[in-house]
Each structure stands twice: as structure tokens, then as C-alpha cells.
Structure 1
Amino acid sequence: MTITNIAVCGIGGQGVMTATEILAEAALSLGFDVKKTEVAGMSQRGGVVTSHLRFGPQVLSPQIMPGEADLLVGFEAAEALRWAHMLKPGGIALVNQGRFVPPVVTIGLYDYPEDPIGEMRKLGLAVFDFDASALALQLGNIRLGNTVMLGAMSDRLPFPADVLRNAVLARFGARKPELLELNRQAFELGRAAVAQPAPTPATA
């Protein structure tokens, strides 16, 4: 009877909202009650994008409170650090190592951290980090990065990875069948990237 809470963050254009929609579709296909919300926008111009997804037998609100997220998915490392407070004790962070500097940095409102993933580990968090962008480029298309990220999530969900994989392929292969195999490969690269245990959190 538990509810699964997933916080997803990144920069506009990385596919954050699309990835959250696919996660929601996968959960809905199994009969879960699903609530989803975009918490912060500006997705059209490379701004910060954050989404909350909650699913379970019954979900009354889409909002995840700080310290309640089972899974924090960072499409961008500095954004993952900014939203690290959302994770509950024992929660997991899946973080893309790729650096996409948001406008809040370029206009001087926010200093980009020197080592955001290292800072997350200093907080005692379990962080799986990998270069989703580089893995996507191995397949010839940087836009496959969100499928890589979805693959990384797939074994940390309360349902089989096949359910999420099928939702991915239904979304990206419906109009362009030639993309089916590329997305299948990207999904598996993401799964493999986080197959090992998370490195031990650093001590402050």
C-alpha cells in the first residue's frame, strides 16, 4: 500500500517532462493511481525544469515534500544537488554527469558548483552517476539521453523493467519505427550504467 515518489530535475530541452510522462504511462498501465506535476518551468529556453511523480494504490496529491522522494533523477548534476533535499533517508539519486549550465548561472544568480556529485556524496546520499549524454552519443543521437536516463531508473521501480521499456518504445517508436532499436539500446545502456552498487558516500 505504499506510494512511490520520484523527483526529476534538469534543464529545458533534455526531455525531463517527456521522461516523467513515460514513467506515468508505465505506472498507469499497471493500474496505479498516478499524480504528476511540473514544479518549475521555463522549459523552452534552457531553464530549470523539475517534475514530481507519485503513484500507488491511491494518491491524493502530486506534490512531494522535502525528505520524501524515493528516487531523485538528475538530468543535470548541479540541478540534482540543488534538489538533493527532496530525497528521503535511504533514497537513491541517479545523476547524469553531463554539465548543462542553466541561465541562472550565466546571469549570475547561482554559482555552478565545482563538484556537484561529490557534494551530494558529502551529504551522505547514495548517488549513481554516469554520463548519459556520452552514452547517447555512442548511438549517434544526443536526444537519446532521456531514454538512457529512463533505463537507469528501470531497476529502481516497484515493477519490472520491461514495463517501462515497453512504454519507452511505444512513445518513441510509434511514429518512427526505425527509432525502436536505437531506443532499446539506449535503455539497456542506462540499465547497465547503474548496475553496480553506488559508491560509498564521502564523509564531510
Structure 2
Amino acid sequence: MSGVKNILLVGVGGQGTILASKILTEGLLQAGYDVKMSEIHGMSQRGGNVSTQIRFGDKVHSPIMGKGEADVIVAFEKMEALRWIEYLKPGGELVVNDFEMPTVPIQIGAEQYPDDVIGTLQAAADTVVIKAGDIARNLGNTKIMNVVLLGALAKAMNLHEIDWESLIRKNVKKGFEEINWNAFSAGYNEAKLSPTF
């Protein structure tokens, strides 16, 4: 890997975007990278927009990336992918959860949820679609979608040398270690390697 790589994680409050970002950041530090992370909250409680920028490499000077600079965007909710796609660089990859979780403006009728979001995204970028909601439901808990997506991201980034299992077991709530590790493994197995990395 050469230079600095930029990862953008976006979602809706309550989806566990920050937890996934924290585990990813710890993993990258464990792998020996210089890492900078910046959290941006619209309303971080349930229903608001949440995004995290993670930049890593040999030496990172700033935690902030600009539009057109993200190597990978991971969208925990598909409309959030549309909202942030202008941050993806040409040739970058979008990992998107095929899942709807309307934000507050949509819930109160101030915005409309767009039609055919996945089709629009696939026309605009190299898109990996993960049905993390279905995977999490099959494992027994829809709250683990974030860890499914983290697994998909780890695979796309070819970060196989990191001890993900110990990081996940350390960071998730006590009693939920096994199901979260299963979620990560399922996401990892579902994704493909990205040509970006």
C-alpha cells in the first residue's frame, strides 16, 4: 500500500457507525499504520446522520478528507450512500448496505425517500451491495449489521493480517462477543477484494 488511504463510513444514528469506526481504527493502528479519525454528527441519536472519516498510511497529517478523495465509502444505510457519494474518488469503491432506515426529515415528511437507490449507486460507482440486514437477522440480531459491514470492509481492503476477532470481542458488549464475531465473518465472506487496495 502506498500513500494515505481514505475511508468514509456513513449511516444513521443508532446503526453503530461509531463502534465500527473505532474497531477499524484500532485494527489499523495494530497493523502499524499512522491513523487519524474524525467523527461528524448531524444528530447522532437515532434518526440523524452520522459519518466518520478514517485516514491511514505511513504518515497522516490531517483527519479530514475532501470531496472526491475517499478510496472506499461504507454506507450503513443506502440513502446515506447517495448523500455522500461525491466524496468517492474516481475508481473508488462503495460498499452499501441494502437497507432503509429513514432519517428524521423523511419521517416528518420534509424529504422523500428516493426510488431505486441501489440502481443509481451502481450506475455511478463500483458498488458492492451487502444485505447486512438479512445476514444479521439470520444470525439472530439486527443490531449487528454494523459488524457485518465491518467484515465486508476488511475483506475489500485486504486487511487479513489484523486480529479482528480479539478486537471485536474486546469492543462489543459483554455477552455479545460470539454473535458479533459471526457477523464479522459473514460480512468478510460476502465481500470481494477491491482493486483500490
**Is residue 181 of structure 2 the alignment partner of residue 184 of structure 1?**
yes
Distance (whole Å) between structure 2 residues aligned to residue 196 and residue 26 of structure 1: 18
| Matching of residues 103-182 of structure 1 within 5 Å | 103-123=104-124, 125-157=125-157, 159-160=159-160, 162-172=162-172, 176=174, 178-182=175-179
Aligned partner of 2:190 among 179, 190, 193: 193
TM-score relative to the length of structure 1? 0.87
Are 1:39 and 1:49, in contact at CA under 8 Å, matched by a contact in 2? yes
- Structure 1: unaligned runs, 5 residues or longer: 198-204
1:61 to partner: Cα distance: 0.9
1:55 Cα deviation from its structure 2 partner: 0.9
Taking the aligned partners of 1:144 and 1:70, their CA distance within structure 2 comes to 24
- Work out whether residues 130 and 149 of structure 2, in 8 Å CA contact, stay in contact via their aligned partners in 1: no
Equivalent AA in structure 2 for residue 75 of structure 1: F
Contact 2:98 2:131 in 1 (8 A): yes
Note the C-alpha offset of 1:135.
Answer: 0.8
RMSD value, Cα: 2.0
Structure 1 runs of 4+ aligned residues shifted over 4 Å read none
- Superposed displacement of residue 155, structure 1: 1.4
**Per-residue deviation, residues 143-176 of structure 1 (Å, max 9, x unmatched):** 111110111111122532643343223212xx62
Amino acid at match of 1:168: I
Distance 1:128 1:39 in 2: 24
Deviation of 1:38 (Å): 1.3
Conserved in 2, the CA contact under 8 Å of 1:76 and 1:100?
yes
Contact (CA 8 Å) 2:77, 2:97: kept in 1 or not?
Answer: yes
Q: Distance in 1 between matches of 2:35 and 2:87?
A: 19
What residue number does 1:70 align with? 71
Whether the aligned pair in 1 keeps the contact of 2:30 and 2:162 (CA below 8 Å) is no
Structure 2: which amino acid aligns with 1:64?
M
Which 10-residue stretch deviates more, 94-103 or 151-160? 151-160
Cα distance change of structure 1 residues 68 and 33 upon mapping to structure 2, 3 Å threshold: same
Q: CA deviation at 1:42?
A: 0.8
TM-score, length basis structure 2: 0.90
Q: Offset at 1:50? A: 1.0
1:42 counterpart = 2:26: no
Match for 1:33: what amino acid? D
2:31–2:162 CA contact under 8 A, matched in 1: no
Letter in 2 for 1:187: F
Q: Distance in 2 between matches of 1:19 and 1:39?
A: 14
